[in-house]
Homo-oligomer: A and B are copies of this chain.
């Protein structure tokens, strides 16, 4: 088998056999194929995509490149929730404790902020003392005792995916539905889950800008799950405007706390409850989705989700008091108000622009080597559809230094569109794929 022939066939739109895909991934992981051939292959995949059979073979060989996690000694259904990433998307930190409070075990492997989107690990690390680098034993212990544990990706789980992802990141080949699906699903399947709830974001603030692409990704991931015997459902949810009001790491932890205390934003609460309900349903804690929804709502109302997140924080070395006393979290030193130039209706809040502005003042990173400022970010004062007067506060930028602040403010201003008539209301949960 010659690598260049496989690249050429993929380039020409042909389907490679499962053996050929496996050979490529294995040889690359062992260092027998150079990066420059695989990056050309990945770009060919970007343009020609892969069939379900090819993606399946890639997933299998990426799993086989590392160790599978064995959670069988821990009682209870193991169900994870994964979001493709958005702006202000802190649903993991709400739905996971709610599901855990209902008896689901949630072994969550999370990522970091990149580009305009945030990362659950960065958000949690804004909590003083919180450790995301647990050993496998520590991780299992937290999962067993508390029910919800969070770690970063390790080198032992799907190392092939780690190596491929780093290459994709440097070669503009991240945005391929086939490659995104293979990357996510190989990690999830290696975890030995019983159920998986996927939140596929669509809109300006998401990687998928068009609903047809989001649907393809959702279908591909649920197909891979089904073939592997993993119960999975995907929600396709709106990411045209940021989710909730807070964007930025410590700011989002504060909003998570409010939401788990039943006083959070309506959109964030709704999606988080629906995700939690589906985790509970897939974990077979409830016989029907309706029953699962009732359980999730009860766990929110009675504060047991809120208590569960405190337990996870404490178990992973953090100070759980931060959820009550926000002064214990990193706080910004200044706030800049952005006012509306005129009255009217908020017809759009471009989530990507808000995310980029927030990243620009330190909440995110341009490259993986950049460090994060946990205190900074944006708090919206309005949401799409709202009627405002001229001069009303649209949002506030929370900053710790004024580098790039003016630039970020301009970006944020441009993100708000004001029109004379009310916009059509937009569905929050657009589709369910299972």
Q: What residues of chain A have their CB less than 8 Å away from a CB belonging to chain B? A: 3-5, 7-8, 11, 34-40, 42-44, 46-47, 167, 169-173
Contacts and interface: CB of A to CB of B under 8 A. Distances in A.
Nearest to A169: B4
Contact of A36 (B7, B8, B167): B167
A375 to B, nearest CB: 27
Contact of A40 (B3, B4, B5, B171): B171
Given A37-B170, A43-B44, 13 more contacts: A4-B170, A4-B172, A5-B172, A7-B171, A7-B172, A35-B35, A36-B170, A36-B171, A40-B43, A40-B171, A40-B172, A44-B172, A47-B47
DSSP class of A's interface residues: helix, strand, loop or mixed? helix
Contacts of A170: 3-4, 36-37
Most buried by B among A3, A38, A39, A42: A39
A7 B34 CA distance: 19
Contacts of A37: 39, 170-171
Q: How often does this chain occur in the complex, in copies?
A: 2
Contact of A34 (B35, B47, B172, B173): B35
A43 B11 contact: yes
B40 A173 contact: yes
A12 B152 CA distance: 32
Contacts of A171: 4, 7, 36-37, 40
Nearest to A5: B172
A385 B207 CA distance: 58
Contacts of A38: 36
Contacts of A7: 171-172
Contacts of A35: 34-36
A382 B37 CA distance: 42
Contacts of A34: 35-36
Contacts of A36: 34-36, 38-39, 167, 170-171
A165 B8 CA distance: 16
Contacts of A42: 40
A172 B8 contact: yes
Contacts of A47: 43, 47
Contacts of A8: 172
10 nearest CB pairs, A to B: A40-B171, A43-B43, A35-B36, A8-B172, A7-B172, A36-B39, A39-B40, A36-B36, A40-B43, A47-B47
Contacts of A43: 11, 39-40, 43-44, 47
A47 B35 CA distance: 20
A4 to B, nearest CB: 5
Contacts of A39: 36-37, 39-40, 43
A5 to B, nearest CB: 8
A173 B3 CA distance: 13
22 contacts: A3-B170, A4-B169, A4-B170, A4-B172, A5-B172, A7-B171, A11-B43, A11-B172, A34-B35, A34-B36, A35-B36, A36-B36, A36-B39, A36-B171, A37-B39, A39-B40, A40-B40, A40-B42, A43-B43, A43-B44, A43-B47, A47-B47
A34 B39 CA distance: 11
Which of A34, A35, A36, A46 has its CB near the most chain B CB atoms (within 10 A)?
A: A36
A129 to B, nearest CB: 35
Nearest to A7: B172
A42 B38 CA distance: 13
A164 to B, nearest CB: 12
A46 B42 CA distance: 13
Nearest to A3: B170
A5 B5 CA distance: 28
Contacts of A167: 36
Contacts of A173: 40
Nearest to A43: B43
A36 B4 CA distance: 14
Nearest to A40: B171
A242 B39 CA distance: 36
A35 B170 CA distance: 11
A17 B43 CA distance: 22
